[in-house]
């Protein structure tokens, strides 16, 4: 059974999202309720246009819900309106976002691509670099800390991107097609890393994916169809 809202890192209740009004209105999300617990790794699946990315962006506090309630890390952040004024700070404090393509800054090396996030959060440059190198070592790309994105393999670049997402120690990690650009072996490695992060940091990982080769790495798979959510449980491979 899903965890109670008070035990969840992500808790959605009756979330709706529509775009436009009148005859042009599109109902992208319809009455979404979802709990994701610490240590849990879940997937959002569904055909194009089903609402997966919209839901991920609502949880990321990038899109405004049209209706409903949302709590992150036990804090009620949306209840028919945002209860926080500074959504940028909310995202920085609570959420790490991993993109399909690494989106690393080409003019910064691996260390500085991670450290820049920490400096934006208020870290001194030396402390930011120390934390960045610690993360790169944890993700087993410490030997590439001085490499620029053009010199990194696809798997290495994605690990640097994961380090960047984890820089501020968020416990909610959102991933949009994190393995789509990787081969099968690297995709499995990235998902194993995300499972390790969820366990080590008691984090919740929510990933949008079409990648069938990683389905066995999820605790639960949520299928979206026409903006509605269906829960399909899957056992994680030993």
Q: Is the pLDDT of residue 235 over 70?
A: no
What is the model's pLDDT at position 3?
42
Burial of 86: CB neighbours in 10 Å, binned 0-12, 13-18, 19+: exposed
Q: Where are the beta strands (DSSP E) in the chain?
A: 10-19, 26-36, 41-45, 67-72, 75-79, 95-98, 172-176, 204-208, 220-225, 228-233
Mean pLDDT of 160-184: 84
Residue identified by tokens 């026409």 is 226
CB count in 10 Å sphere of residue 103: 13
Residue of 126 and 192 predicted with greater confidence: 126
Higher pLDDT, 75 or 139: 75
As a whole number, mean pLDDT of residues 110-125 equals 89
Q: Chain-wide mean pLDDT for the chain?
A: 85
DSSP assignment of 103-125 equals ---TTS-HHHHHHHHHHHTT--H
Distance of CA 173 to the CA centre of its chain: 4
Reply yes or no on whether the pLDDT at 206 is more than 50. Answer: yes
- Identify the sign of the CA torsion 95, 99, 104, 110: positive
Give per-residue pLDDT as tens, 14-42: 999 998 887 788 888 999 999 999 999 99
CA distance 58 to 15: 9
Report which of residues 213 and 97 the model is more confident about. Answer: 97
Cα–Cα distance, 1 to 212 (Å, whole number): 24
The more confidently predicted of residues 237 and 30 is 30
Say how far apart CA 83 and CA 187 lie, in whole Å.
37
pLDDT of residue 165: 86
| More confident call, 238 vs 140 | 140
pLDDT at 203 over 80: yes
CATH code matching the domain that covers 5-233, chosen among 3.60.20.10, 3.40.50.300, 3.40.1010.10, 3.90.420.10: 3.40.50.300
More confident residue, 73 or 7: 73
């Amino acid at each position: 059974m899903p965890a109670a809202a008070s035990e969840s890192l992500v808790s959605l209740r009756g979330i709706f999202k529509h775009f436009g009004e009148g005859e042009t209105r599109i109902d992208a999300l319809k009455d979404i309720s979802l709990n994701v617990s610490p240590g849990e790794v879940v997937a959002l699946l569904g055909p194009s246009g089903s609402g997966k990315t919209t839901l991920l962006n609502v949880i990321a506090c990038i899109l405004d819900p049209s209706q409903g309630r949302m709590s992150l890390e036990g804090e009620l952040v949306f209840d028919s309106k945002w209860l926080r004024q500074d959504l940028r700070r909310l995202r920085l404090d609570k959420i790490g976002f991993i993109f399909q393509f690494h989106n690393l800054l080409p003019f910064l090396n691996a260390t500085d691509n991670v450290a820049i996030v920490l400096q934006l959060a208020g870290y001194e440059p030396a402390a930011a670099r120390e934390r960045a190198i610690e993360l790169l070592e944890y993700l087993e790309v410490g030997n590439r800390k001085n490499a620029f994105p053009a010199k990194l393999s696809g798997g290495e670049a994605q690990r640097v991107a994961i380090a960047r997402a984890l820089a501020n120690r968020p416990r909610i990690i959102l991933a949009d097609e994190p393995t789509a650009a990787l081969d099968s072996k690297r995709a499995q490695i990235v998902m194993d890393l995300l499972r390790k992060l969820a366990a080590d940091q008691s984090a919740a990982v929510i990933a949008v994916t079409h990648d069938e080769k990683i389905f066995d790495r999820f605790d639960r798979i949520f299928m979206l169809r026409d903006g509605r959510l269906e829960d399909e449980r899957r056992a994680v491979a030993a």
